[in-house]
Amino acid sequence: MSARILLVLVSCALSVITGLVIARGGAGGGKTVRQRPVIGLSMDTLKEERWQVDRDLFTEKIKAAGADVLVQSANSNDAIQLQNVESLITQKVDALVIIPHDGAAMAKAVKLAHQAGIPVLSYDRLITDCDLDLYLTFDNVKVGELQAKFLAERIPAAGKLRLIRIYGAKTDNNAKLFKQGQDNVLQPLIAAGKVEVIFEDWAEDWKPESAKKITNAAITKNGPNFDAILASNDGTAGGAIQALMEEGLAGKIIVTGQDADLAACQRIAQGTQSMTVYKPIQSIATKAAELALKLAQRKPLVAKDAIPNGQVEVPTVLLDIVSVTKENLRETVVKDGFRKEADVFQ
């Protein structure tokens, strides 16, 4: 923390932690601030549709602000992601934005960046066990709570809800937070006998194929005798629904998701998926561009929250989210311009 001044002020009146981050190198000190800063964006993957939108919007915002972006994607491989970061450091980026494949593995990337005096913003997913400068994300625990609340509201009046749970990638800290939010809602219902988990597993690297296999295994073990699949994102929901289709069960089983992927919005309109959680990518990409530029220009910035990452309390900016069903598809993703009505309702 020597090269950076980090103040965490606790505001008792507001019960809010306000972090003021003055980027690595101090407020302009120790580093010449470039006229046209260059931001490095290191991405885990472009597999899910949302990440392509994140990349495009982030790039657009950075360019509109008169700066440049270098983007690298690691195809869910830690060694490649580390090489990508090393290459961005060699290219002398002024700030790094990292979407880690494995939050723990990328601690090394943060260390290397800091040795080169480059501040790091962790985007959407937390990098753990390091002296991270800033974290920007959605309220991930709330994502899990919204998914589980949707199910809680659909427990049969007489009886219980029999549930298959599909978690995300074990390497992704977010997957644990989604589960934590789901547990907050489900544990009391499980204890009260209103919900029974008949099968659960983690989908490797968030792969739809892995979610399909989990669903197949659950059906092989229990037969078609279940009511809902708590899939943690739209990609895994898609894999699960594929398995349901093969069994003639699609549309009969409640399926959750997250991301408001176009394919998921279409499934919701058609009735094979029941809900998704809309996380406005426009908000996170725009905010990330703004924060990354401030880091690059060594300007002070304020983060209202703080999240522990195993080593430090990371100054954090949290963004809000919305639950989307067939009833409010138009009022949410369409109204927001995230999806076109004609695309969703084909």
Give contact residues for ligand BGC (rule: CB under 6 A): 48, 50, 124-125, 168, 172, 174, 206, 233, 258-259
Q: Is 160 helix (H, G, I), strand (E, B) or coil?
A: coil
Q: Read off φ and ψ for residue 203, nearest 5 degrees.
A: -85, 120
Measured from the CB atom, the residue of 226 and 278 that comes closer to ligand BGC is 278
Give Cβ neighbours of residue 327 (< 8 Å, ≥ 6 apart): none
Measured from the CB atom, the residue of 114 and 176 that comes closer to ligand BGC is 176
Gap between the Cα atoms of 184 and 188, Å rounded: 8
Tokens, residue 87:
């290459």
| Rounded least distance, CB 288 to ligand BGC, Å | 13
Measured from the CB atom, the residue of 215 and 233 that comes closer to ligand BGC is 233
Sign of CA dihedral 101, 82, 29, 31: negative
Gap between the Cα atoms of 4 and 115, Å rounded: 13
Gap between the Cα atoms of 4 and 343, Å rounded: 47
Measured from the CB atom, the residue of 125 and 294 that comes closer to ligand BGC is 125
DSSP 234-274: HHHHHHHHHHHHHTT-TTTSEE---S--HHHHHHHHHTSS-
- β partners of residue 314: 307
Tokens, residue 133:
């400068």
| Rounded least distance, CB 55 to ligand BGC, Å | 13
| Rounded least distance, CB 282 to ligand BGC, Å | 14
| Rounded least distance, CB 263 to ligand BGC, Å | 12
Measured from the CB atom, the residue of 227 and 259 that comes closer to ligand BGC is 259
Tokens 């369409």 belong to residue: 334
- The C-alpha angle 187, 258, 340, rounded to 5 degrees, equals 150
| Rounded least distance, CB 211 to ligand BGC, Å | 11
| Rounded least distance, CB 174 to ligand BGC, Å | 4
Other beta carbons less than 10 A from residue 7's beta carbon = 12
Question: Quick check: 22 and 4 in contact, CB under 8 A?
Answer: yes
Gap between the Cα atoms of 177 and 124, Å rounded: 12
| Rounded least distance, CB 236 to ligand BGC, Å | 8
Measured from the CB atom, the residue of 25 and 103 that comes closer to ligand BGC is 103
Measured from the CB atom, the residue of 19 and 168 that comes closer to ligand BGC is 168
Beta strand 254-255 with 275-278 is: unpaired
| Rounded least distance, CB 221 to ligand BGC, Å | 26
| Rounded least distance, CB 229 to ligand BGC, Å | 16
Measured from the CB atom, the residue of 121 and 219 that comes closer to ligand BGC is 121
> Half-sphere exposure (CA, 13 Å, Cβ side) for 129?
8
Question: Quick check: 97 and 127 in contact, CB under 8 A?
Answer: no
| Rounded least distance, CB 208 to ligand BGC, Å | 10
Measured from the CB atom, the residue of 206 and 226 that comes closer to ligand BGC is 206
Closest to 130 (Cα-Cα) out of 92, 90, 98, 86 = 98
Measured from the CB atom, the residue of 166 and 195 that comes closer to ligand BGC is 166
